[in-house]
C-alpha cells in the first residue's frame, strides 16, 4: 500500500516524540517539517532523515505532495494552521488543547466540516495502556453501575523545567492537563451535565493556575472528580506522569494505582493485574506512559485516514472536551456550577 505522506508543523519539545511515534507505524512517511525558527526544523529533520524543511507553512503545502498535516505548535497558532489545511483540502491533525477559546475551536471544526476535510485531535491520554484496560473492566460490568469516580493527576514533578513556556500561560493546568483528564472522564463515563471547579496557584512565578479540582455530574448519574496539580511538593505515591483512578460501582470497585497496577474488587475478592505500557527507545523514561500512548492514538487516526471512517479523537468529538475546559474556567471565576 502506498505510504501516506505527511508534514509536521512545529519542531519543539513534543515533536521529538510525535514524529518517532509516527515512524513506529507502517504506511506513513514524513516528508517535510515546518517551524518558524528554521534551525529547529533542520535539527529535527536531520535526526529523523526528513528531506523537506521550511519556515513558511503555505510554501510547504504548495511545494510538497501531502496526504495530511500534523500540527504540533503552540496553541495560539492552531487555528491559523487548521484553517490553512482546510483551505488546501488537506486532512489535519492538531495537538491538544485544540484552541485558546471555545469560539475558536468551534470555528476550526466548522471550517473543516465546510471543506469536507477530516480533522483530528491528538488526544492520546485515553490511549494509555492502563486506561484502556480500565475501560474494558467498566464495560464488562464487573463492578456494576459506576456511581462515583476519582481521577488524580497530582505530581511534584518539575514540569516547568523542560517546558518553561508553561510558566507564561495565563490558563495553565486546566487547559494543558485538564484537556487530558476531562477527555478521559468522557471516554470512561460519558458526557457531563453539570460541572463545578475550584483552582489555586502554588507557584508564585507562573501566570496561570497549577492546581484544579473539577467535580462533574455525568449523564449516567455518576459523580466524577478530577484532581490536578503540579505543585512540585512531595508525595508518597508520586510516579509522574501516571494517572490514578478509583471507581465505585454498585457491585464493586476498581482502582488504578502506582506502577500500572489495577485492582478490581467484588464479592469474589480482589483481582490484581499490572498493565504497563510498551517501551520505546525514543521515549523519555520520565514520560514513558504518555509517550507510548501516542502510537495507538496515531494508529487510530491513520486507520481513519485510510478507511475514511471516524477516529475516536475527531475535532467534533474533542469540542465536548473543550467545552468542559472553558466551563471549568467559568465556574472557577464565578464560584458557581455550570450546567449543560
Q: What is the model's pLDDT at position 286?
A: 85
Domain count, the chain: 2
Say whether both 181 and 225 belong to one domain. yes
C-alpha cell recorded at residue 179: 484537556
> Is there a domain that residue 28 lies in?
yes
Query: Which residues constitute the domain of residue 67?
Result: 4-122
Pair 145, 250 in one domain? yes
* Residue 307 maps to a domain: no
Q: Is residue 291 a part of any domain in this protein?
A: no
In a domain, 308, yes or no: no
Report pLDDT digits (tens) over 92-139.
999 999 999 999 999 999 999 999 999 999 999 999 999 999 999 999
| The pLDDT of residue 89 | 98
Say yes or no to pLDDT of 255 above 90. yes
Pair 171, 188 in one domain: yes
Question: Given pLDDT bands bounded at 50, 70 and 90, which one contains residue 162?
Answer: confident
| Residues whose CB is less than 8 angstroms from the CB of residue 158 and which lie 6 or more positions away in sequence, other chains included | 232
For residue 297, being part of any structural domain is answered with no
DSSP string, 256-292: EEGGGEEEEEETTEEEEEE-PPP--TTS-GGGHHHHH
Q: Is the peptide bond before 59 cis (omega within 30 degrees of 0)?
A: no
- Taking the CA atoms of residue 57, residue 59, residue 61 and residue 62 in that order, the dihedral angle to the nearest 10 degrees is 160
Same domain, 211 and 334: yes
Q: How far does Cα 334 stand from its chain's mean position?
A: 27
Please write the tens of the pLDDT for every residue from 291-335: 999 999 999 999 999 998 889 999 999 999 999 999 999 999 999
From 104, 122, 140, the end of a domain falls on 122
- Whether 112 is covered by a domain: the verdict is yes
Are residue 263 and residue 131 in the same domain, yes or no? Answer: yes
Same domain membership, residue 165 and residue 25: no
Grid cell at residue 182? 476531562
3-state SS of 210-227 is: CEEEEEEEECCCCEEEEE
- The answer to whether position 116 is within a domain reads yes
All three cell numbers of 187, joined, read 471516554
Please write the tens of the pLDDT for every residue from 192-204. 999 999 999 999 9
Strand partners, 78: none
Q: What is the pLDDT of residue 113?
A: 98
**pLDDT score of 236 more than 90:** no
How much is the pLDDT for 237? 86
Q: Give me the pLDDT at residue 330, please.
A: 98
What's the pLDDT at 309?
Answer: 84
Helical packing angle, 129-140 and 288-307, nearest 10°: 70
- Domain end call among 107, 122, 137: 122
The per-residue pLDDT of the chain, averaged, comes to 96
Q: Domain for residue 179, yes or no?
A: yes
Residues 35 and 158 placed together within one structural domain of the fold:
no
* CATH classification at residue 269: 3.30.360.10
Is residue 277 classed exposed, middle or buried when 0-12, 13-18 and 19+ CB atoms within 10 A define those classes? buried
Give me 89's grid cell: 483540502
CATH of the domain at 73: 3.40.50.720
Amino acid at each position: 500500500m502506498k505510504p501516506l505522506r505527511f508534514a509536521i508543523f512545529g519542531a519543539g519539545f513534543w515533536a521529538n516524540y510525535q514524529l518517532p511515534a509516527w515512524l513506529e507505524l507502517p504506511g506513513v512517511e514524513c516528508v517535510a517539517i515546518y517551524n518558524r525558527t528554521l534551525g529547529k526544523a533542520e535539527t529535527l529533520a536531520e535526526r529523523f532523515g526528513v528531506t523537506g524543511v521550511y519556515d513558511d507553512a503555505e510554501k510547504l503545502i504548495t511545494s510538497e505532495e501531502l496526504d495530511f498535516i500534523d500540527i504540533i505548535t503552540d496553541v495560539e497558532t492552531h487555528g491559523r494552521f487548521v484553517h490553512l489545511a482546510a483551505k488546501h483540502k488537506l486532512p489535519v491533525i492538531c495537538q491538544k488543547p485544540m484552541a485558546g477559546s471555545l469560539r475558536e475551536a468551534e470555528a476550526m471544526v466548522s471550517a473543516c466540516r465546510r471543506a469536507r476535510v477530516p480533522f483530528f485531535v491528538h488526544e492520546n491520554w485515553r490511549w494509555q495502556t492502563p486506561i484502556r484496560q480500565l475501560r474494558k473492566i467498566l464495560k464488562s460490568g464487573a463492578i456494576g453501575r459506576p456511581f462515583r469516580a476519582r481521577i488524580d493527576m497530582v505530581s511534584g514533578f518539575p514540569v516547568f523545567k523542560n517546558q518553561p513556556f508553561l510558566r507564561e500561560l495565563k490558563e495553565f493546568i486546566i487547559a494543558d492537563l485538564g484537556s487530558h483528564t476531562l477527555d478521559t472522564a468522557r471516554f470512561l463515563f460519558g458526557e457531563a451535565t453539570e460541572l463545578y471547579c475550584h483552582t489555586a496557584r502554588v507557584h508564585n512565578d507562573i501566570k496561570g493556575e497549577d492546581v484544579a479540582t473539577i467535580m462533574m455530574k455525568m449523564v449516567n448519574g455518576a459523580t466524577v472528580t478530577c484532581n490536578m496539580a503540579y505543585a512540585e511538593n512531595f508525595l508518597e505515591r508520586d510516579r509522574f506522569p501516571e494517572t490514578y483512578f478509583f471507581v465505585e460501582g454498585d457491585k464493586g470497585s476498581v482502582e488504578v494505582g502506582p506502577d500500572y497496577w489495577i485492582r478490581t474488587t467484588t464479592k469474589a475478592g480482589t483481582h490484581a493485574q499490572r498493565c504497563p505500557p510498551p517501551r520505546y527507545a525514543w521515549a523519555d523514561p520520565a514520560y514513558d506512559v504518555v509517550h507510548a500512548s501516542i502510537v495507538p492514538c496515531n494508529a487510530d487516526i491513520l486507520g481513519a485516514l485510510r478507511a475514511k471512517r471516524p477516529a475516536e479523537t475527531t475535532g467534533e468529538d474533542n469540542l465536548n472536551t473543550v467545552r468542559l475546559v472553558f466551563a471549568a474556567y467559568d465556574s472557577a471565576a464565578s464560584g458557581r456550577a455550570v450546567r449543560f
